[in-house]
């Protein structure tokens, strides 16, 4: 896979979507099948997202995964079953080559976007590398993370905006960062769900405002993002990770339909 594979003949946005974490094979295949049906109908290039392991949970007793190899095999099964690309997070340099055997896109978590050894290891796999902007960084500062990947010999880089720390328990999206990061010459994605997290809650469980997902997404399309990142689940209330800010799967098609119509209008300007 290369960046060009995400280009749409109708100049639509592309989509990275799926559950926060792989909870099981049947669940992943059900979600992937439903999203493939939607994106095929709307001509949206689609990459299935699922973390094979969550390494940055707030509490030690939080769910982290079903096992690395087991979850990665689920991601491969999604790819083989539906013929779609897949993306997952990696957390250490040693994980890059392992995950690259199973998925098409390696994602660098926002907290780790300055980790040079991690960025180099991801670049050296030859896979597309999606670097999520740190909550503590400006759009301008992301050029240096991108350079680490490119100067390691891999031009297939994407950048994801996922909000900026606003006080201790909130995030805010500065949409000025989107044209700034687009000026680097690589696709820019808006994470419509993590941007609505409310971290550092006293319960040790991250909160969120999923009712604003459409608001965030619409603004991203108008601002010119190339892609959207949306975590979705059949029943977010029982999701094992990030349920507080995920989109109910039943609501996704209506949202994508509206966003596609907005994109058609924006393409005229």
Q: For residue 205, what pLDDT band results from cuts at 50, 70 and 90? A: low
- What pLDDT is attached to residue 144? 98
Query: Is the distance from CB of 52 to CB of 88 less than 8 angstroms?
Result: yes
- What pLDDT is attached to residue 161? 98
- What pLDDT is attached to residue 59? 72
pTM of the model: 0.94
Provide the pairing of β-strand 164-165 with 207-208: unpaired
For the stretch 133-185, pLDDT in tens is 999 999 999 999 999 999 999 999 999 999 999 988 899 999 999 999 999 99
Q: Which of 88-97, 190-199, 235-244 has the lowest mean pLDDT?
A: 235-244
Q: Where in the chain are the domains?
A: 3-266
For the stretch 79-137, pLDDT in tens is 999 999 999 999 999 999 999 999 999 999 999 999 999 999 999 999 999 999 999 99
- Please state the separation of Cα 202 from the chain's center in Å: 26
Residue with the larger pLDDT of the pair 64 and 157: 157
Strands (E), 20-165: 46-49, 85-89, 105-108, 128-132, 157-161, 164-165
Q: Which of 44, 109, 41, 99 is nearest to 74 (CA)?
A: 99
- What pLDDT is attached to residue 62? 74
Residue with the larger pLDDT of the pair 256 and 1: 256
Structure tokens at 46: 């689609």
Q: What percent of the chain has pLDDT over 90?
A: 81
For the stretch 6-55, pLDDT in tens is 988 789 999 999 999 999 999 999 999 999 999 999 999 999 999 999 87
What's the CA gap between 165 and 128, in Å, rounded?
Answer: 27
- What pLDDT is attached to residue 210? 84
Query: Has residue 193 got a pLDDT over 70?
Result: yes
Q: Which fold has domain 3-266?
A: TIM Barrel (3.20.20)
Query: Has residue 202 got a pLDDT over 60?
Result: no
- DSSP for residue 21: B
Count CB neighbours of 191 within 10 A: 26
Count CB neighbours of 232 within 10 A: 25
Angle at 185 between CA 95 and CA 84, to 5 degrees: 50
Structure tokens at 149: 């990947």
Q: Which of 61-65, 152-156, 204-208 has the lowest mean pLDDT?
A: 204-208
């Amino acid at each position: 896979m290369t960046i060009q594979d995400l280009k749409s003949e109708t100049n639509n946005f592309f989509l990275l979507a799926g559950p926060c974490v792989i909870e099981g094979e049947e669940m992943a295949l059900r979600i992937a099948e439903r999203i493939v049906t939607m994106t095929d109908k709307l001509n949206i290039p689609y990459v299935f997202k699922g973390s094979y392991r969550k390494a940055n949970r707030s509490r030690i007793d939080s769910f982290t995964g079903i096992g690395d190899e087991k979850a990665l095999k689920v991601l491969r099964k999604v790819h083989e079953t539906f013929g779609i690309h897949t993306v997952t997070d990696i957390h250490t340099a040693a994980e890059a080559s392992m995950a690259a055997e199973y998925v098409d896109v390696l994602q660098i978590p926002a907290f780790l976007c300055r980790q040079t050894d991690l960025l180099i290891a991801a670049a050296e796999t030859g896979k597309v590398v999606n670097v999520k902007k740190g909550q503590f960084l400006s759009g301008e500062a992301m050029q240096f993370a991108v350079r680490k990947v490119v100067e390691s010999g891999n031009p297939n880089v994407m950048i994801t905006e996922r909000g900026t720390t606003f006080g201790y328990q909130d995030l805010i999206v500065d949409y000025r960062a989107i044209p700034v990061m687009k000026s680097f010459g690589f696709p820019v994605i808006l994470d419509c769900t993590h941007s609505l997290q409310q971290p550092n809650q006293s319960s040790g469980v991250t909160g969120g405002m999923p009712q604003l997902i459409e608001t965030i997404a619409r603004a991203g399309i108008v601002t010119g993002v190339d892609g959207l990142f949306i975590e979705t689940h059949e029943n977010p209330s029982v999701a094992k990770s990030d349920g507080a800010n995920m989109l109910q799967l039943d609501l996704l098609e209506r949202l994508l339909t509206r966003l596609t119509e907005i994109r058609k209008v924006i393409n005229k300007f």
